[in-house]
């Protein structure tokens, strides 16, 4: 069972890091929101567009039809970053939603925010045992407690065009596994017309999450103090050997013009892959269903590569989780909890995983016939599952915790852009580490630091 330690959530920083807010007081005084037919209304803010957004609408619709007491209204709020900014504007007030989806790197910020009720309280009240995947527990448990309910869980994998592999004389059933193998395959797959590149052999979104994954796969930490899990992280370690390995690998392919730079927008790099302008690229498992459906070629999937001579350590879970706000009425919280529990049911998780490419948060879902049939028809879905299950759970693969993680990601992304413009790997990472440490220091100073 999951046992709740008695913890006091203090005040912390909102906005970009500087707005101090008081802790909320827990949900008992707000007015219960109801529908016209008397059902308790639960407002659910999420950041899922496209296919995953439709899958959320389907899940919510199924829940609403399954009973007559609670009605969940799902509201799309844009990207993860946009949603978190919206929440910061209303957190702790009666304008806050009942449930909010926050991406994984918001975990520390949210747990200290003062406007959530930890779901551990609800787990303990019912003595509820949820069969979470071990690595999902490893990420979302903070000091042994769940502050949020894991929801859409992903990891990073490589997608590749099997048809292009065959045309280039590469084995489509033996994708590259190391940095040098990716470089060699990228050179073979790149198609040039004079001075122009028609097809890039490899690409990676300028997104800090992939840098984090490539560090973890080397068993490397992002922060000191066991990635901020054994006390607050104060020192960024991204400028050590593992980080330099990643930057130099990217820069070598960039200089060889085998790396396609599609910026920071997911749709741009995914469109390039489906259109045949990129032969291999890294993406979230959430893209699996869309890639398989959209491509007019056979799509392959592979594990994340590692530097030569290293054994892969595995990946950090990505995606997001569901948080219970504390400024809504207790009756509304209970209704929201009913929906959260519903999302963990094996049948619901199997349908969600099959519709999106996110993998189930519970082990029970894998036994569902619906999901087994999808995995048999589309083996591409299994790559992320097997990669997660083969991950060695360590502080590196648990992922880092820090209140300024969204800011840290942006710092790393700016560094990658500078790298592609000819910057030096070590110098850029040194500067990025200093910027992250300054942001952490400011956050800790504004929030009062660690009280325990």
Of 135-144, 173-182, 185-194, 235-244, the least confident: 135-144
Predicted confidence at residue 214, as pLDDT, reads 98
Q: How many CA atoms lie within 13 A of 84 on its CB side?
A: 24
pLDDT-based confidence at residue 71 (cuts at 50, 70, 90): very high
Distance CA 79, CA 91 (A): 18
Q: How many CA atoms lie within 13 A of 365 on its CB side?
A: 26
Question: What is the DSSP track for 46-107?
Answer: E---HHHHHHHHHHHHHHHHH-SSEEEEEEE-SSHHHHHHHHHHHTTSTTS-SEEEEEGGGH
Q: Helices 346-356 and 50-66 meet at what angle, rounded to 10?
A: 160
Rounded alpha-carbon distances, angstroms, from residue 425 to 21, 254, 287, 422: 38, 13, 29, 9
Distance CA 306, CA 217 (A): 7
Q: Are 154 and 384 in contact (CB under 8 A)?
A: yes
pLDDT-based confidence at residue 166 (cuts at 50, 70, 90): very high
Specify the residue for token string 């929201």: 336
pLDDT-based confidence at residue 129 (cuts at 50, 70, 90): confident
Give the chain's radius of gyration (CA, Å).
22
Predicted confidence at residue 176, as pLDDT, reads 98
CA-closest candidate to residue 199, choices 207, 209, 189, 208: 189
Collapsing DSSP states into helix, strand and coil, what is residue 158? strand
Of 189-193, 229-233, 296-300, 446-450, the least confident: 446-450
What average pLDDT does range 141-166 have in this prediction?
94
pLDDT, tens digit (0-9, with 9 covering 90-100), for 96-112: 999 999 999 999 999 99
Q: Helices 241-255 and 425-447 meet at what angle, rounded to 10?
A: 130
Rounded alpha-carbon distances, angstroms, from residue 20 to 32, 91, 107, 167, 374: 28, 12, 18, 58, 47
Distance CA 21, CA 10 (A): 10
pLDDT, tens digit (0-9, with 9 covering 90-100), for 406-444: 999 999 999 999 999 999 999 999 999 999 999 999 998
Predicted confidence at residue 26, as pLDDT, reads 43
Predicted confidence at residue 368, as pLDDT, reads 95
pLDDT-based confidence at residue 29 (cuts at 50, 70, 90): low
Complete domains list, the chain, with CATH: 19-153+318-389 (3.40.190.10), 156-314+394-447 (3.40.190.10)
Residue 255 has pLDDT above 60, yes or no: yes
Task: Give the max Cα distance, the chain.
Answer: 70
Distance CA 281, CA 300 (A): 11
pLDDT-based confidence at residue 352 (cuts at 50, 70, 90): very high
Predicted confidence at residue 25, as pLDDT, reads 38
pLDDT, tens digit (0-9, with 9 covering 90-100), for 180-212: 999 999 999 999 999 999 999 999 999 999 999
Take residue 416 and report the two structure tokens written for it.
């990658």
């Amino acid at each position: 069972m999951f046992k709740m330690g008695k913890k006091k959530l203090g005040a912390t920083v909102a906005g970009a890091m500087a707005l101090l807010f008081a802790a909320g007081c827990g949900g008992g005084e707000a007015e219960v929101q109801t529908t016209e037919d008397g059902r308790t209304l639960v407002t659910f803010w999420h950041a899922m567009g496209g296919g995953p957004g439709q899958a959320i609408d389907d899940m919510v619709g199924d829940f609403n039809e399954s009973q007559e007491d609670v009605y969940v209204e799902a509201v799309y709020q844009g990207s993860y970053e946009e949603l978190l900014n919206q929440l910061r504007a209303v957190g702790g007030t009666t304008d806050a939603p009942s449930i909010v989806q926050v991406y994984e790197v918001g975990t520390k910020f949210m747990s200290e925010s003062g406007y959530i009720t930890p779901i551990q309280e609800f787990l303990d009240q019912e003595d509820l045992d949820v069969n979470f995947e071990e690595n999902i527990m490893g990420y979302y448990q903070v000091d042994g407690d769940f502050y949020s309910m894991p929801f859409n869980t992903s990891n990073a994998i490589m997608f590749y065009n099997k048809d292009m592999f065959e045309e280039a004389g590469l084995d489509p059933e033996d994708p590259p596994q190391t940095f040098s193998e990716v470089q060699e395959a990228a050179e073979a797959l790149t198609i040039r017309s004079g001075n122009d590149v028609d097809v890039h052999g490899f690409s990676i979104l300028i997104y800090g999450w992939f840098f984090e994954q490539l560090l973890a796969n080397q068993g490397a930490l992002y922060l000191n103090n066991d990635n901020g899990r054994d006390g607050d992280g104060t020192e960024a370690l991204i400028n050590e050997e593992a980080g330099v390995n990643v930057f130099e690998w990217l820069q070598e392919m960039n200089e060889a013009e085998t790396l396609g730079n599609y910026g920071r927008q997911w749709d741009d790099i995914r469109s390039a892959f489906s259109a045949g302008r990129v032969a291999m690229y890294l993406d979230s498992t959430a893209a699996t269903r869309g890639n398989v459906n959209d491509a007019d070629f056979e799509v392959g999937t592979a594990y994340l590569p590692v530097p030569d001579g290293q054994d892969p350590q595995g990946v950090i879970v990505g995606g997001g989780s569901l948080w219970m706000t504390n400024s809504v009425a207790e009756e509304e919280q209970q209704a929201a909890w009913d929906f959260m529990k519903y999302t963990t049911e094996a049948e619901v998780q199997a349908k969600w995983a099959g519709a999106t490419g996110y993998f189930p948060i519970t082990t029970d879902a894998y036994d569902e016939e619906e999901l087994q049939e999808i995995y048999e028809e589309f083996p591409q879905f299994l790559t992320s599952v097997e990669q997660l299950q083969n991950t060695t759970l360590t502080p590196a693969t648990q992922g880092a915790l820090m209140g300024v993680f969204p800011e840290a990601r942006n710092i790393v992304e700016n560094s990658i852009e500078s790298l592609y413009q000819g910057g030096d790997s070590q110098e850029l990472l040194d500067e990025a580490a200093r910027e992250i440490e300054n942001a952490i220091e400011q956050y800790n100073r504004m929030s009062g630091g660690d009280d325990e």
